[in-house]
């Protein structure tokens, strides 16, 4: 069973503070079916995945990622903030290097004139 599907079902349920029984009732299936999906012992139908996507307004790719591990929104925000800090630091570093170069005194033997 695709771990992404298992992850997606459990994540949607937990993010919405639902029990397996509550999610099952909303989706019109048995709680046992939700349990077997989350345990990776059975696959949900495409119709069931479509219901979850529509009901909870999630990206359908959450079910089908195979090369990358799905991450939470909180983790994505943290990573984006880290990336921004690195880019800002890099930009600041380049600015400081440019200032040093402009202010540098070039020895006479390297001057053309």
Q: What is the pTM of this model?
A: 0.53
CA distance 28 to 6: 18
pLDDT on residue 3 = 73
* DSSP secondary structure of 27-64: HTS-HHHHHHHHTTSSPPPHHHHHHHHHHHT--GGGGT
pLDDT on residue 107 = 65
pLDDT on residue 86 = 85
Read off the tokens for 66.
Answer: 């195979």
pLDDT on residue 36 = 92
pLDDT on residue 113 = 53
CA distances from 91 to 23, 25, 62, 98, 108 (A): 48, 53, 34, 11, 31
pLDDT on residue 80 = 82
pLDDT on residue 2 = 63
Count Cβ atoms below 10 Å from residue 8 Cβ, excluding itself.
26
**Residue extents of the structural domains in the chain:** 3-63, 73-110
Q: Which fold has domain 3-63?
A: 434 Repressor (Amino-terminal Domain) (1.10.260)
pLDDT mean values, one per 10 residues, the chain (113 residues): 74 89 93 91 88 83 64 77 82 83 70 57
CA distance 9 to 80: 25
pLDDT on residue 19 = 93
């Amino acid at each position: 069973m695709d771990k992404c599907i298992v992850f997606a079902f459990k994540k949607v349920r937990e993010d919405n503070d639902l029990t397996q029984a509550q999610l099952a009732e909303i989706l019109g299936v048995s709680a046992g079916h939700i349990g077997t999906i989350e345990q990776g012992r059975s696959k949900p139908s495409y119709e069931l995945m479509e219901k979850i996507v529509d009901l909870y307004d999630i990206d359908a790719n959450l079910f089908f990622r195979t090369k990358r591990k799905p991450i939470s929104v909180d983790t994505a925000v943290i990573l984006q903030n880290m990336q921004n800090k690195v880019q800002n630091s890099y930009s600041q570093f380049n600015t400081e290097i440019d200032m040093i170069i402009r202010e540098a005194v070039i020895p006479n033997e390297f001057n053309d004139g």
